Amino acid sequence: MAKVRKLQQKRGWAWSTVVVIVKPTLLAATRHDWIDGEKIPATGGCVVAVNHISHLDPMTLGWFLYEHGRLVRYLAKEALWHTPLLKHIVKDAGQIPVARMTDGAASAFDAAVEAIHAGECIGVYPEGTITKDPDGWPMRGKTGAARIALATGCPVIPIGQWGAQNILPAYSVRPHVIPRRTAHYKVGDPVDLDDLRGKPLTEEVLREATDRIMAAITRLVEDLRGSTAPAVRFDPKGSGVHEIGNPNKRKRGQA
């Protein structure tokens, strides 16, 4: 079990509100298994790259990072900034909106780079959405985390998680809290990108860096699950599956 680390950053009203409400709720409704949390840098700009398995895991991951001394700034879908009440919380908490599947995602990159230079912790789900892999394994990643890391020189800390999907299944609104289920987190060593730093950010370089990040995350998930991931990561784009949103939801007009 990883040791907790005292938070040094100023929280602000949004984080204070979330901690007061969410932390007791998670303690009452879930169990947690935190492994190697001391590998999260105590200070300085960094990217934490994590697999995505449930709409609950931003909260369970945020709690994990908070208890290890970091306030995470997520790259999160822009729709949250148009949701009553929630829009005020994500704004004050410093979360970064991403207009997924549009050219507007570039502004999120600029904001993330600025945050890294300010010494902040940026949370990225490289898959860009909850995994569409039929067995819940990490999918093929997008290049955002790699681009931020190579542009700033900051470390990428891979984190594997498993269990949040048993508490709140993907695309479900009904949590399973009796009996209490466990959210497992395991932190890996920084992903080795040294040989790629300083090179032009070509698609080839970004893809190589992204593949290394996803491989590191997948190894951690394998450790948590005690099984082996598929040799080829699931690619929704090449499999005819919706890249974002519920893959089981029929398109309008379909029978």
Of the pLDDT bands very low, low, confident and very high (cuts 50, 70, 90), residue 116 is: very high
Average pLDDT, the chain: 86
Cα–Cα distance between 155 and 158 in angstroms, integer? 10
Structural domain contains residue 8 = no
Cα–Cα distance between 148 and 212 in angstroms, integer? 14
Instruction: Name the residue range of residue 216's domain.
Output: 29-239
Structural domain contains residue 113 = yes
Query: Residue 97, preceding bond cis, omega within 30 degrees?
Result: no
How many structural domains are present in the chain? 1
Task: Work out the number of other CB atoms within 10 angstroms of the CB of residue 184.
Answer: 20
Rounded to two decimals, what is the model's pTM? Answer: 0.88
Please check whether residue 68 is in contact with residue 5, taking contact to mean a CB–CB distance below 8 angstroms.
yes
How much is the pLDDT for 107?
79
Structural domain contains residue 15 = no
pLDDT digits (tens, 9 = 90+) for 219-228: 999 999 999 9
Please check whether residue 108 is in contact with residue 75, taking contact to mean a CB–CB distance below 8 angstroms.
yes
Please check whether residue 221 is in contact with residue 127, taking contact to mean a CB–CB distance below 8 angstroms.
no
Structural domain contains residue 5 = no
pLDDT digits (tens, 9 = 90+) for 97-114: 776 555 556 678 888 999
pLDDT digits (tens, 9 = 90+) for 136-146: 999 999 999 99
Structural domain contains residue 20 = no
Average pLDDT over residues 63-89: 75
Of the pLDDT bands very low, low, confident and very high (cuts 50, 70, 90), residue 118 is: very high
Structural domain contains residue 21 = no
Q: Which tokens in the block code for residue 208? A: 């190589």
Structural domain contains residue 209 = yes
How much is the pLDDT for 252?
41
**CATH number for the domain including 105?**
3.40.1130.10
Q: Is the pLDDT of residue 94 over 60?
A: yes
Please check whether residue 33 is in contact with residue 67, taking contact to mean a CB–CB distance below 8 angstroms.
no
Alpha helices in the chain (DSSP H): 12-29, 57-66, 86-92, 105-117, 144-152, 164-167, 203-225, 236-239
Please check whether residue 55 is in contact with residue 170, taking contact to mean a CB–CB distance below 8 angstroms.
yes
Phi, psi at 49, each rounded to 5°: -110, 125
Average pLDDT over residues 211-234: 97
Of the pLDDT bands very low, low, confident and very high (cuts 50, 70, 90), residue 12 is: confident
Phi, psi at 202, each rounded to 5°: -75, 165
Q: Which tokens in the block code for residue 68? A: 């290890």
Average pLDDT over residues 5-18: 73
Structural domain contains residue 9 = no
Which segment of 78-92, 113-127, 178-192 scores lowest on mean pLDDT?
A: 78-92
